[in-house]
Amino acid sequence: MGTAIGIVSALFIYPLDFAFSGIIKFVDNISQLLYPVMVFGASHALIKFYPSLTEQKQKQLFNYSLVSVTVVSLVTLAGVVLFNVITQYKDSALVYFAFAVAFSLAFIDLFRKQAQDMQRLSVPTLFEKIIPKITLPVLFLLLINGYFGVITSLWFYAGAYLLILLLIGGYLFSNFKPGFNYRFNNLFTDISRRDYYRYSLYAFAGSVGSLLAFRIDGIVIFNWIGEEANGIFGNGATLAATMQIPAVGMFALYAPLISKHLQENTLEPLNMKYKEIARLLFFIGALLYSCIFIGIDDLFSLLPSSEKLMLTVPIIYILGFSVLINMATGFNTEIITYSKYYRFNMIAILLLIVVNIALNAWFVFIADMGIAGVAWASFISMTLFNFSKLVFIYRKFGLLPFDAAFGKLVLLFAFTGVVIYLLPETGSHFVNLIYKCGLLVTLNVVAIYKLRLVYQLNVWIDQALKKFKL
């Protein structure tokens, strides 16, 4: 659902006003930088230490996290006010809207992590992923047709996240009763207070660093190039990011299981799941990316905003391939985050912040490549980041997400992609789109099913064949 709504909006609605889209992307990026500060690693610590506690202590840990996020959020607000007063930043109003969104996101993240621990993730994920994707295109249409102004639209945008917070909170507390015990002296008898704060600090640094490394594009473009360019880049990034929606859900779902395997040192089943999920996510990502690469020009040529959409094609190619690499490497971030080597994330990310900012500056100011240069900077940073994690996990745990079946998948998609790309054009964009993408999907799915390269695909198809008695 999230993928479908996001694609339709990016194709038909967001190109109608790339300037407002650029403003929204800027607010979103600032909020994504602020909310990890408010959480300060508490949500990751909830996953890390939850399995080792009794039920009563688990409730105490959640309440402690709740108090922590509240206090740090107030401190962050004071910091935002101080920043705007001292710098007299020209877009300070947008920073306050970003804070409102970030405040909701901080508690949403905490509630979602608690839902993960309870294996009740589907409903919170539904609220978190669907409501913004419905709200934003509606606000675009109201703005374009003169019913709302920019400021009013931003108020409703922030309000949508407050609604998500209330809905997820209502769902969580209907299934989880933490009580009102806010005396935390005996909480740290089972876990070390020092270990808790150290882990929270490293998780916080890793989260902020990751966002600085991979979310800085919207801030760079908004301030260095312009809001309309930010909107064009954001639209391409939105279309590319829709590929990763299955991966986001998969990583969140497996986080408690990964933490449990690492605590119990059961690496063999973890390695099997690592490879299995990497193949599944690569299959999904490669199928989507191949269709994008083969059919995007024909698709955009059929749409009313084709001229504007064509501006996003280079961004989609570059960032889409970056997303594919991230999916193909599986849940390597989660393995490091929930292991005793969690500090590595912070070290790697801090280095990547420097690399990414330097690359952005070089591509924009020296190479003069504009938003395509920002996309290349993001791609290079993401590739380096994933490669460093793969090497580290292999050296410390002897785990790799790749095997012979994965290699066959790569070769199969490369072969079918080249063959179908070279097939003759029909003279009709619609026919090209249907026959090339349809043939691509059919060949890959049938071949992968017959070769049994992706376990879950065989399960899904066998269940469908059984259901229809074929």
456 within domain boundaries: no
470 within domain boundaries: no
Predicted confidence (pLDDT) per residue in 283-297, tens digit: 999 999 999 999 999
The average confidence (pLDDT) of the chain is: 86
Look up residue 125 and give its two tokens: 């994920």
d(CA 71, CA 395): 39
75 within domain boundaries: yes
391 within domain boundaries: yes
97 within domain boundaries: yes
Predicted confidence (pLDDT) per residue in 60-90, tens digit: 888 888 888 999 999 999 999 998 889 888 8
88 within domain boundaries: yes
Residue 400 is which amino acid? L
- Confidence at residue 470, expressed as pLDDT on a 0 to 100 scale: 59
Q: If DSSP codes are grouped into helix, strand and coil, which group holds residue 40?
A: coil
Burial environment of residue 286 by CB neighbours within 10 A (0 to 12, 13 to 18, 19 or more): buried
440 within domain boundaries: no
Per the listing, tokens 């409102």 go with 100
- Confidence at residue 11, expressed as pLDDT on a 0 to 100 scale: 84
- Confidence at residue 151, expressed as pLDDT on a 0 to 100 scale: 92
Q: How far is CA 9 from CA 4, 142, 161, 211, 285, in A?
A: 9, 14, 19, 24, 20
The alpha helices in 302-312, defined as continuous H runs, are 306-309
Predicted confidence (pLDDT) per residue in 204-239, tens digit: 776 776 666 666 787 788 888 888 888 888 888 888
The parts of the chain modelled with pLDDT lower than 70 are 2, 181-182, 185, 206, 209-215, 469-470
- Confidence at residue 214, expressed as pLDDT on a 0 to 100 scale: 60
pTM score: 0.76
Predicted confidence (pLDDT) per residue in 336-365, tens digit: 878 888 778 777 777 777 888 888 889 988
448 within domain boundaries: no
- Confidence at residue 460, expressed as pLDDT on a 0 to 100 scale: 87
- Confidence at residue 218, expressed as pLDDT on a 0 to 100 scale: 77
- Confidence at residue 466, expressed as pLDDT on a 0 to 100 scale: 84
Domain of 137, in residue numbers: 2-180+188-402
Total domains in the chain come to: 1
